[in-house]
Structure 1
Amino acid sequence: MLQNKKILLGVCGSIAAYKAAHLVRLLVKAGAEVKVIMTASASEFITPLTLATLSKNPVLTAFVKNKAGEWNNHVELGLWADVMVIAPASANTMAKMANGICDNLLLATYLSARCPVMLAPAMDLDMYLHPATLTNLDKLKGFGNQIIEAEYGELASGLVGKGRMAEPEHILPVLSRHFNTVNALLDKRILITAGPTYEAIDPVRFIGNHSSGKMGYAIAEAAAECGAKVHLVSGPSPLSLSNNNVEIEHVTSTEEMYEACLGQFDNTDISILAAAVADYKPSISEKQKIKKKSDTINLDLIKTTDIAAQLGQRKKEGQMIVGFALETENEQANAIKKIETKNFDMIVLNSLNNKGAGFGYDTNKISIIDKENNVRDFELKSKKEVAQDIIDTIIHALDE
């Protein structure tokens, strides 16, 4: 999958810089065209000559190319690459990236790059776990960068823990998967729901839940990055999208979400129902604010439209529906039952019993179950990574 791909490799000052030589060799062997940018401190760990010889391209270390005044154009470099990989990514460089500091060619190229950017951090374990580093990693993830997690093992300090740069043999599959999914959903029309729905009690109060919409928005971004034409129906949420290829429709109530979905569904190839829809609503929504007249108030609640079940009944051959189940008990049994009753092709299960999963978190821990009751469990990951796992699973199912 790396044949003729253009890989821009950034190398920072770290003892792990020696791994860059092996990474370049593997990339070139896989058929990729590699250009290398090094920071000044990286040159103290590995020579530019080594990486130039292996990449078969001059290694770039500064803006000025020669005494004649020619310069290395960081904008052109950013436009040239299919993907930019910074490995090793030092704490210093990541801090600058997270805060828009641009004092060398590598950072200028990063800020100019329009291609996906991946980072493989490398540092001692205490540096890796420092709140400043973790904050910078979160910011970089929020910018859309992919973090190739550091690995556990013996470090240059002699300590043992997390902080080793991912081995080149582990970075290569990440790149292969990236190119395997690019345009994998081209020409596919995908409907995604996200966030909560609010059911009005009166003009001021409502019945709702704690859903932030983060999972659905992340899935929309991931699907669009794979070439899909995405229509996102979002309940109330403060989130925004960074991918302009996602069409978003804002709604408030379950009925509004149902009507929005109904308007898209018949022409949709894949529906991903990630919204946390309110199951009940007041039988009467008061036109004026209810005054506090007594110690108690009784609300008569009725069921809302079951969007998933309604779409499941309308599903035609060739359409796929992916449901979601947030459970607190008998998780797997309840999820499997939803596959059957709502005519899902697969369901994404997460449990409020798992720390870091559910509403409001930036992370999630899921299992994906298909119609044959095959279960695939995933570790706790960022919701961006979880979204990619879900999209990868869908792509794999389409290929079967």
Structure 2
Amino acid sequence: MTLKIYRVVSDFFHRYFSDEEAVIVFLLFLICFILIYMFGGILTPLLAAVILSYLLSPLVDKLQSYRVPHGLSVIIVFLVFFGVLLVSLLTMVPALIKQISALVSDVPGMMRTFQSQLELLPEKYPDLLSQELVGHWSGSLDLSQIGQQLSAWLPNVVSFSLNTLPAIISVLIYVIVVPLMVFFILKDRDELWSGFKSMLPDQRRLMNEIAIEMNQQIANYIRGKAIEIIIVGGVTFITFTLLGLNYAALLSVLVGFSVLIPYIGATVVTIPVFAIGVFQWGFAPELYWVLIAYLVIQVLDGNVLVPLLFSEAVNLHPVSIIAAVLVFGGLWGFWGIFFAIPLATLVKAIVNAWPSSVISDPTEPADP
């Protein structure tokens, strides 16, 4: 029995780790995994800077194609991007804070309205719902008390999160450190890349094969997701505003960022859209128009916008994508969710490129 186990383990290592480069690749990814898992919070500004550098690199290259010097191209792209970002934040953040404050104050009224609408359902749909069943739901939920608790709890949470010293330090790190790292990554990207390659072995067929497949994949994914968030959020804001839905700005931000979590995000964000619609109109035609418009936006996003933005198709099964979101999101939080699809594609690329030839035992007879 022991000999059989040894033979299985030996065959496994001969099959997958007989190549020296394969061992190096395995150790590199193991080290990266451990570092991100243990020091993910500390490395978050670096990850943010790398993502922004991926977004801005094509703009720098475009300016250089018009014979603009590299240094000047970096300065122009850097100033324009962060200038637009600063103006956008100064415009959006006050409006979002105002809508959040209004939403918090309206929570008790929303709960009472929802409870009254719930009690009217047996009259509208007597064949489906009975008065006793709805009364049981209403009594067990106690929506009015929940609303009062939420309205008292949410302002304390917001105040606590904004006044704590770690939050202030974290904001300062992102505001100061991330732009500096983005500037220097863009300015010295060739030197940084050359220095990284100098630490790798000269023969790196496996690494090159994985890198070529993933470089375009990750770059395309980051830029595509950024554009998708802006388009979906903008279209949602315009649509909800035209339909007269309250808290259109806040809901459009939620809908925009929901595209980061495939399949799950759109389903979860449906809940606040539905709840605010019920609070505002009840179960009236206006609510159904909002839900239909939201469904149309999601359908167009999944079937038109995503194929246009992501030129490099991600050939992953939906179950694999959802599993990747759950696994990497559980390990690394927001960044794990954001990079779930590229990371899943990376795993697939490694599996496809990994050497799998078995080194034959010379004492064994050859197959006929």
Fold conserved (TM > 0.5)? no
More helix by percentage:
2
Larger relative contact order, structure 1 or 2 (CA cutoff 8 Å, min sep 6): 2
After TM superposition, the score normalised by the length of structure 2 is: 0.23
After TM superposition, the score normalised by the length of structure 1 is: 0.22
